[in-house]
Amino acid sequence: MQNDLTAQVFELIRSASVDLSPDVEKALIAARDKETEGSTERGTFDVILQNNKMARDNNTPICQDTGTLIFYIDIPRKTDTMPIEEAIKEAARQATKNFLLRPNAVDPITQKNTKNNVGEKAPYIHFEQWDKDYFRYKLMLKGGGSENVGTQYTLPNTPLNAGRDINGIKKCVVDAVFQAQGKGCSPGIIGIGIGGDRCVSYLTSKEQFFRKFGERSPDPVLAEMEIDLYNTLNKLGIGPMGFGGKTTVLEVFAAKACRHPASFFVSISYMCWACRRKTMIIKNGEVQYD
Amino acid sequence: MIKLTTPISEEVIRNLKVGDICAITGIIVTARDAGHKLMVEERPGFLDEYLNGGVIYHCGPVVKKEGEKWSFVAAGPTTSAREEPYQAKVIESYTVRGVIGKGGMGEKTLEACKNYGAVYFHAVGGCGTLLAKSVIEVITVFKLEEFGAPEAFWVCKAVDFPVIVTMDSHGKSIHADVKKASNEVYTKIMTELSAK
C-alpha cells in the first residue's frame, strides 16, 4: 500500500517536471502566433515550445530549476496523514535520484544542501479534510527566480498613491509586474491574494496557480478584475524574457480572504511561463492524473 | 547567427552588438551566488585557465553521474541580477569576455562590459532540456561538496550554445531600453487608475 502510494506520487512529480499541461502550452502557442514572423519575441516562443516537446519526449525536466515542491491534499475525514507524508518524502528522494528534480532544499543557516529535496518544511504539504470519500493531490513546482519577484503591499500605499479600493489593488499588481520585468521568466502567470493576514494573503495568491487557464473567479467583481488586468498588463510591452513584445502575462488569477479592519494586504505571486502543476485523484484504488 | 569560440578575443567582443544572435562553442563555467561571492572574496586561482577570455554561465544544472562521468540533464539560465554586486569585479579580475544568464544585469556590469571588453548573453529561461543538449561534456567540477550541485563551478564544453547579446561593450542594454519603454506605459496606466 505504502509502496503503491510512493510510486503514484513519484509519477505525479515526474509528470509535473517533464510534461507541461495542455492549457499552458495552448497559451504559449497563442502568444507565439501574435508575434511577427522573424522577430526575437517569436523566436523566443519557438525555442520555449521546442524545449517543452524535447522535455516530454526525453523525460527530462522542462527547466533545471525544478522548484520548491508544494503539495495541497484533500483527504476524507479522519485520514491518518503520517503515511502520506512519508510516501511524499520517499517519492521526492527517488525523483531527485532519477534526475527529475534538482536538489533544491538548502539549510538557511549552514547553507548545506540536503541533496534530496527533503528537510525541514520540505516538501511543503498542506492537508485539508473534505466531505468526499476519495483523495485529491495537487502538486506545484514553484521556481525560485519567479518566487523572488513576488511581493506584498499594504493599502493605503503612499508611494503608489493607492487606496483601499479596486483601483488601489490594480495599482499594486501593475507595479509588481513592472518591477519584475523579465526576471521571473516572463510571460508570467499572476496570482493575486487580496486581504487576509500576511501569511493567508500570500498563500491565497499562490494557490491560484492550481486553477486552469481560462477559469475565471466565481466572484463577478474579481472575474472582471482578472480580465481587465490581463489586458492592462499586456500593454506594458515587457514580453518573453523581457525582450519586449505583446505578451507579458499569460493569465491573471485573483482571490480574496477576509482581512482585519486595520490591515489590507495585496500579495502578488509570480509564476514563470513554465507553470508546472498537476493533479492526481485516488478513488477506490484507481488513479487519475490531470 | 554569429559563431563564437572560447577563448574569445577583445576584438571579437567589441564587434558584437545588442540583438546579435550567437552560438558559443568551447569551454563555459557555471557560477551562481556562492561562486560569485567566492570569486570576489577569495579569488581562487583554479578558475584562471578556464576564465581568461572565457565565459561564465549563471546556471545551476540538474546533473547525472554515470560511473565517474558527469553530464547535464537540464541546464537553463538562472536570474543574473543576483550577481550584480559581484559581476563587474569578476569580469575585471579574471578577464571574462562573456556572461550568460537571464533577466539582464545592472549599470555596474554594463560599465564593466564597456571598460574591460565583455558582453552579456541572454539564454532563454526555463529551457533546461534544450540548452543541456548544447553541453556535450563536463570537464571538471569545483566546490561540489561544499556548495552542492546547483551552486558548484561546473566546467563544461559547449557546442553551438544558443544566446542573444542583450548588453554589449558599447553601453547598450536591451533590458534598460525595455524598462524605459515599459516605464512610460506604466506611468500612463497609474495615472489613469488615479483618475478613475
Q: What are the two backbone dihedrals, phi and then psi, of residue B103, each rounded to the nearest 5 degrees? A: 85, -10
Domains, in order of start, for chain B: 2-194 (3.20.130.10)
Lookup: cell for A266: 495585496
Which residues of chain B carry a pLDDT beneath 70? none
Shortest Cα distance from B172 to chain A (angstroms)?
A: 14
The interface pTM score, or ipTM, of the predicted complex is 0.92
Interface probe with B: pick from A45, A65, A153, A186, most Cβ of B within 10 Å: A65
Supply B119's cell numbers.
558582453
Cis status of the peptide bond prior to A156, with omega within 30 of 0: yes
Q: What is the C-alpha separation between A260 and A18, in angstroms, rounded?
A: 41
DSSP A209: G
CA B81 to chain centre: 10
* pLDDT given for residue A1 in this prediction: 58
C-beta separation of A127 from B92 below 8 A:
no
Does residue A116 sit in helix, strand or coil?
A: coil
Q: What is the pLDDT of residue A3?
A: 78
Q: Which residues of B touch A242 (CB under 8 A)?
A: 103-104, 174-175, 178
B64 touches chain A (CB under 8 A): yes
Percent of chain B with pLDDT over 70: 100
Q: What is the pLDDT of residue A241?
A: 96
Tens digit of each residue's pLDDT (9 = 90 or more) over B5-31: 999 999 999 999 999 999 999 999 999
Distance separating alpha carbons of residues A165 and A199, to the nearest angstrom: 21
Q: Backbone phi, then psi, for B74, in 5-degree steps?
A: -145, 130
Question: Could you identify the residue written with the cell 479596486?
Answer: A166
Listed in order, strand segments (DSSP E) in chain B are 2-5, 21-30, 55-57, 62-66, 69-74, 98-101, 119-122, 135-142, 153-167
Active site residue B36: yes
Q: How far is A231 from chain B (nearest CA, A)?
A: 11
pTM: 0.93
Predicted confidence at residue A36, as pLDDT, reads 94
- How many residue contacts between A and B have a Cβ separation below 8 Å? 173
B139 touching A (Cβ < 8 Å): no
Written as tens digits, the pLDDT of chain A (290 aa) is 577 999 999 999 999 999 999 999 999 999 999 999 989 999 999 999 999 999 999 999 999 999 999 999 999 999 999 999 999 999 999 999 999 999 999 999 998 999 999 999 999 999 999 999 999 999 999 999 999 999 999 999 999 999 999 999 999 999 999 999 999 999 999 999 999 999 999 999 999 999 999 999 999 999 999 999 999 999 999 999 999 999 999 999 999 999 999 999 999 999 999 999 999 999 998 999 99
- Rounded to a whole number of angstroms, the distance between the first and last alpha carbons of chain B is 48
